[in-house]
Chain A
């Protein structure tokens, strides 16, 4: 989220999958799109058939590589080196899109004199606090931009982390205050800083460290860059192959820089497509299941000075220009949705009913708390952490410390049965009779057994209607959440004390139907959409929201999905054009390609006939074209920004990135990231190779390894016990941790066993035969899999030596029709600094022929292997 969010304004994909069909080149990296998004991949195939060049950069030759024009293998975890080299190539060879870069990005903005780049700081930017292992980001601000100070807190990063919200961690400065040099010659302008920052990311370095031959790299660079410009556009597709790294957010930042330099954002066939891994992963951050944000990317108040009263909180998060200058409006409307009549001006709209974040309540953070016995209870819904989460051994043992555990799923998952049949029980580490956790297993309804919406990878809300009743006691999530809330509220109503004030204030008037009391999902959507509280009418656009308590909206970016009673736009299936307008509803305002003001020149005319998309109609005096304009519809291209007006009108008419206070795409992020304003290469937390650029800083400095006896790491670089690179992934045939696929025979038979993909060379080196058992070892665990020996895994030449990579899909556990060891047991539980995600895509391992022993002997073998010293 913050990778895209800080670069262009919103964390969502900037384009629609249908628009891929208009691309002239598609770079797929950090994703096996054909395997994980086979339906969306149809538009890649369509583009390819029209002559688009498809490039797949991946450690493995996957089904996506099989459909690509070019497959480029790289060493796992060197993505920033590769993208940085593309950025350098664009800059050094003068291939950047000049008018776009000068007008639409912050290339010309001048930085402070005391800003020190990582290139001059041996891998550290200015502001590093070596004791706290975190940055004070004030020196990263623009020249002339004052640091924000409100309620006594300075620009900085809260130790509780949280990077998902619009500006969490930044709160830094008045980014609407800046100085520019449009000639881009000033030595401290972003453009020049960028040039210097990436100067060492050369094709030679790519060859040496990524393992990509120089001529192959140059071919990729030429192919991709030649497909950008006024007449052409290129798109970048990524997925968790980028996000699940200790530098994940910065990898996505590097992609954004490349796309901004090439003028590819906001244009048809261009953009960055963040491919989300499930039907509603985008939806689960829009209306979040995350600890640090409220719906629509508004920050959760953290326990600190400026969260004590609403005024200070609003002041902190409001910008002077751009859409976030309406922060108070969005927030008041949101509080009115949650607390209704109980939210009044007098009680700060119920702001103090909201809980405060007091520490690291991220998923991995609370799992460590659980391991340490600090957590009593846990709800697990639509997840199977016993199989799907990093360091599975730690996670399963942690659950034994709970007092209660509620699991809602279609089948009894490994999470629900960990106490009786997990590997820990089999190995004698846990004994059922010693576990005090009370487990409640509740049957869940499947997608066809309930109504509701999905918000997919391209911000598109699609409704699904219940087709059949769920069997037996199976119920929808909505049913569960509604009735649990109803019962808690009934109890709170009997005990009217301060602790229950928020529950008593909460609006919970959802009509229910039928014998089981199923809540009406569309009435929830109506609340999300929002109403005018005076007239009672539903709202059609967030532009109608007010800050005086006369409107409410549960998620302002979704406003318009239900513009009037009985009209659920998410449920409409009448596609009128190739972008799918008329089929579902894309936030915001049904805009399919966001920042689309950038598809026209600064003067409002299209860049070219070929890529004509949204333009200024000077007769009607409005923005028009093939999409809803992501801009103020009647604001002319020559509009001069007026700060006193706030909102989009505070920006000039040629500034397409209206979420940012300067209206520009950010090549350089002055505020909002915890590990630096520019992407910088660091090795994965475990790597066989020394950081070629910053030997003093092997890994991303603010990353938290959470190293402890039950979460051990290999020595890095080059632990002789773990000589091979390991990367994990998914297969088309299964769904994540298998809860939805291993119980189905038609899917299970297609991939019936855990396997490890190994190159013929590595098989020979380690003495492993095809189909034989192989044991994979990391400092956390050892597991066994069947050996799938294939030339699709290649050996890379890195710094003059051979590096072998092993691929491992992670779908199996000990239950279901097909079983296997838990691949995620091998991973460490680590936290990327911005979003606190673990590193699953690049670590180290060893391979041993044969299957590990059963029972406690497996642990003995692991300990023996770990203690072996070179």
Chain B
């Protein structure tokens, strides 16, 4: 057992990450509550969804950790840890802190920055509420608080990390489903864990870390059973800026065409004149 003030041993400048292993999650939501307590976030509304045990619904400006409850097939004799089928999966979602972050690229004010830990941090005192980040996030993580006027999202507990403490969600997790550590080490740990699960017969287990997409990998990796879509994770997330090159190309093409048209119109007009 570790004490509440144990130092992570990680220094600013080292790149950190989460590895959220849904095969260890028990759906207790301690991460959601610990996050709100540490970051002093308000409640998100008292609405019954009827959607399994999930009443916070999705990540948003007031929910930075969110446990998804995915109900699958239920068969007597078979529990959720069986290799045969997954029956009730829990997975704690969070900001992905992308390598190439759509929100950061879109932010016109410089409110969104890359931290010394490699994460993406939103500085509320600079945010002007333009919401470009909201539409640029391929995961639907960032949300504007309409009452406040600014956008909010997971800070990766940068304040805690600077003090040598692990993020509140990872600290509160009773089963170490949320692991926090150095990004490169956790990537190896994920591979080892995947091999263990597959050896146990869980052929549907996989790592979610879309390095081959335009986000170029994430700092919040997941181990899940079944397809990413089941957990509302896009199989191939895309940063909007990848369309920029094409956009500029077509814009340039159109600009040339426009100039040509104008010149031509002069000729035509001149002829008329």
Interface of A toward B, CB cutoff 8 Å: 34-35, 38-39, 41-42, 45, 48, 54-56, 61, 63, 65-73, 212-213, 215-216, 219, 573, 575, 580, 583, 731-733, 745-753, 755, 770-771, 786-792, 794, 817-818
Contacts and interface: CB of A to CB of B under 8 A. Distances in A.
Contact of A750 (B55, B71, B80, B81): B55
B167 to A, nearest CB: 17
A56 B78 CA distance: 10
Contact of B79 (A35, A65, A786, A817): A65
B32 to A, nearest CB: 7
Interface string B139-155: 00000000000000000
B135 interface: no
A67 B56 contact: no
Nearest to B88: A66
Contacts of A66: 26-27, 79-81, 87-90
B78 A71 contact: yes
B193 to A, nearest CB: 10
A70 B88 contact: no
Given A67-B26, A732-B28, A746 B76 contact: no
Given A575-B1, A752-B55, 5 more contacts: A35-B26, A66-B89, A216-B77, A580-B1, A789-B50
A42 B2 CA distance: 14
A790 B80 CA distance: 15
Contact of A70 (B27, B50, B77): B77
Given A45-B24, A66-B27, A792-B74, A752 B48 contact: yes
Interface in B8-45: 24, 26-30, 32-33, 36-37, 42-45
A213 B79 contact: no
Contacts of B73: 791
B174 interface: yes
B88 A61 contact: yes
13 contacts: A34-B28, A38-B28, A42-B175, A42-B176, A68-B80, A71-B74, A72-B76, A216-B77, A749-B43, A770-B50, A789-B50, A790-B52, A792-B88
B48 A68 contact: no
B29 A750 contact: yes
A34 B42 CA distance: 27
B48 A69 contact: no
A817 B77 CA distance: 39
Interface in B58-94: 71, 73-74, 76-82, 87-90
Given A48-B81, A575-B1, A792 B71 contact: yes
Interface size class of B (residues with CB under 8 A): 35 or more
Interface in B172-205: 174-176
A753 B48 contact: yes
B90 A61 contact: no
Contacts, number: 139
The 9 closest A-B pairs by CB, nearest first: A68-B79, A66-B80, A745-B43, A771-B50, A752-B46, A66-B88, A753-B48, A216-B77, A38-B28
Contacts of A42: 174-176
A769 B52 CA distance: 15
A45 B77 contact: no
Contacts of B44: 749
B273 interface: no
Interface string B251-268: 000000000000000000
Nearest to B77: A216
A213 B75 CA distance: 12
Contacts of A212: 76
Interface of B: 1, 3, 24, 26-30, 32-33, 36-37, 42-48, 50, 52-53, 55-56, 71, 73-74, 76-82, 87-90, 174-176
A471 B24 CA distance: 39
A17 B120 CA distance: 39
B50 A791 contact: no
A732 B88 CA distance: 16
A50 to B, nearest CB: 11
Given A749-B55, A752-B55, A56 B46 contact: no
A54 B71 contact: no
A745 B42 contact: yes
B79 A70 contact: yes
Contacts of B79: 54-56, 65-71
B59 to A, nearest CB: 14
B80 A71 contact: yes
Contacts of B30: 38
B118 to A, nearest CB: 29
Nearest to B43: A745
Nearest to B32: A750
A794 B33 contact: no
Interface centre among B76, B87, B174 (most CB of A within 10 A): B76
Contacts of B71: 790-792
Interface centre among A54, A70, A748, A786 (most CB of B within 10 A): A70
Contact of A751 (B1, B37, B55): B55
Contact of B46 (A38, A68, A71, A748): A748
Contacts of A63: 26-28, 53, 88, 90
A791 B169 CA distance: 30
Nearest to A583: B1
A17 to B, nearest CB: 11
B26 A71 contact: no
Nearest to A575: B1
B53 A751 contact: yes
B101 to A, nearest CB: 28
A408 B76 CA distance: 45
Given A41-B174, A746-B36, A771-B50, A213 B77 contact: yes
B76 A794 contact: yes
A38 B29 CA distance: 10
A681 B90 CA distance: 37
Nearest to B27: A63
Given A771-B48, A818-B46, A39 B174 contact: yes
Contacts of A39: 174
